[in-house]
Chain A
């Protein structure tokens, strides 16, 4: 299995500000993934983060809005920039190990 922690667990932010979410894994992994779960909806992949290279973004998501860092094989950050109420969601990171994908507990973001 994989133990994943995220910080913060929740936050309430003002429109126009930015929030950086941290994801820590208990051991090294090649790829880390960031998902968004909007209220009452399913999970949508934002981007895939590989160590040592730029993140790969899915259609509809751009680096300027969701910059990602991956400084080492156990850690990644996702920044939600210039936030608007539409960014209110749960943000989850995940990793793959042994053919299974494990998810962090999520960061619940509310933008006022």
Chain B
């Protein structure tokens, strides 16, 4: 079945540091890929998405590129802020079940001054 593997956290960075959170997936066919974010005390929000190979999703300074050849969708940000402290989830949805999402285990990011 489909699966998503993310790097384990927590990840602790200083403000303005470069962020990479690795995500790889296993799926049949060509899934859509997502990054969701869960800020402390809040619900899950879509951060960015990509629906086909080589697509780059971007939002709030975060980027991720759909790499079919490496089955990866790594999340990056050039300069993190304290307000980026949250849990980040990589997820995929396959074309057959459409909206059903398979999530990674989540990576907690803590950004300090």
Contacts and interface: CB of A to CB of B under 8 A. Distances in A.
Find the residue from B89, B98, B103 having the highest chain A CB count within 10 A: B103
B99 A33 contact: yes
B49 interface: yes
Contacts of A31: 99
Nearest to A6: B43
B64 to A, nearest CB: 16
B99 A96 contact: yes
Contacts of A33: 99-101
Interface residues of A, number: 18
Given A42-B103, A42-B105, A104 B43 contact: yes
A43 B43 CA distance: 12
Contacts of B106: 41-42
The SS class assigned to the A binding surface is strand
A103 interface: yes
A31 B99 CA distance: 9
Nearest to B46: A100
B95 interface: no
Given A96-B98, A100-B49, A42 B43 contact: no
Find the residue from B44, B102, B103 having the highest chain A CB count within 10 A: B44
Given A42-B105, A42-B106, A43-B89, A103 B44 contact: yes
Interface of B: 34, 42-46, 49, 89, 93, 98-106
